[in-house]
Amino acid sequence: MTNNQLTDSGQLRHFLTIEGLKKPLLTEIMDRAEQFSSISSRQVKKVPLLRGKTIVNLFFENSTRTRTTFEIAAKRLSADVINLNISTSATSKGESLLDTLHNLEAMHSDMFVVRHNESGAAEFIAQHVAPHVSVINAGDGCHAHPTQAMLDMFTIRRHKQHFPDLCVAIVGDILHSRVARSQIQALATLGVGEIRVIAPKTLLPADCQTLGVHVYHDMEAGLEGVDIIITLRLQLERMEGAMLPSAREFFHSYGLTEEKLLFAKPDAIVMHPGPINRGVEIASTVADGPQSVILEQVTHGIAVRMAVMSMALGSQPEQYEAMT
């Protein structure tokens, strides 16, 4: 899969997963996002890097935050954006997914941003698109969400600078979370000192120990001395059977409260990929508190997605620098 993501010269062609990518490429994404981050404060929030390119958002799964930030990012790069309404498209009338893709290619599309409830869907699409088309995975099943992981890494770097010095705790539904998998891969690639996961046994994957993480079932022990706390949404729509006694019981044991936050370092930051279930994964006083960077994550998502799209479509940093 990794080779499929890169060109023969090692440049990004698709962005399907963090797995297998090297530290210099992840660093390049963050560095380029840093360049783009100032655009949002301008009166005219556009650069013409992708002028003439057509980007199609193919969201087979509902999303507001992710689709909107991808759309804003593409428009700030001056690309033309099409949001395909899957529920009313030809795929709902019996047309195959590949037929839909080939018709979109015939309209000279340059990139597909794909969100799908089936793991591996983005990779499948990337294997069948024309050579000039790039595919960005905006979340596939329980598998991967690479741009979310990279905006999280960018947010962490903005606050903490040096990844090897950090201890990061990921709390909640690890089993069903594509975000957690991508975060763990990115943190490991960037050389984070320690990665912890905190969850009940029913919400941990069977191969959790092979991911290079330290497993905790107790919040107080798991949060002791950490620099970063990432709380995850309970993926209730992906759960089968009784994995949790109740949302109230989960909050009591694993919800992030002001009292539990005290076990982390005083300058620890709190993150959440969204959408937030207040009073389930995190207390409102923490989500809205001084250590929360949750809204910053949303803002940084635009710059990171601009970086990924511009890299996949071959624009060079010097082109942007010449425009500033």
Distance (Å) of CA 319 to CA 224, 241, 267, 322: 46, 53, 38, 5
Six-digit token pair at 236?
């209730």
Judge whether 2-144+299-323 and 146-293 match in fold: yes
Residue (of 282, 217, 289) closest to 251 by Cα position: 282
Domain boundaries, the chain: 2-144+299-323, 146-293
CA distance 103 to 243: 42
Give me the tens of pLDDT residue by residue for the chain, a chain 324 residues long: 445 899 988 899 999 999 999 999 999 999 999 999 989 888 888 999 999 999 999 998 888 889 999 999 999 999 999 998 675 554 554 457 788 888 888 889 999 999 998 899 899 999 999 999 999 999 998 899 999 999 999 999 999 989 999 999 999 999 989 999 999 999 999 999 999 999 999 899 888 878 899 999 999 999 999 999 999 988 765 445 445 667 788 899 999 999 999 999 999 999 999 889 999 999 999 999 999 999 999 999 999 999 999 999 987 655 555 555
CA distance 304 to 28: 11
CA distance 219 to 216: 7
Q: From edge to edge, which strands make up the β-sheet containing 54-59?
A: 80-84, 54-59, 111-116, 134-140
Which neighbouring-strand residues pair with 196? 169, 214
Find out if CATH 3.40.50.2300 is the number for domain 2-144+299-323.
no
Instruction: State the first-to-last Cα distance of the chain, in angstroms, to the nearest integer.
Output: 36
Find out if CATH 3.40.605.10 is the number for domain 146-293.
no
What is the value of pTM for the model shown? 0.92
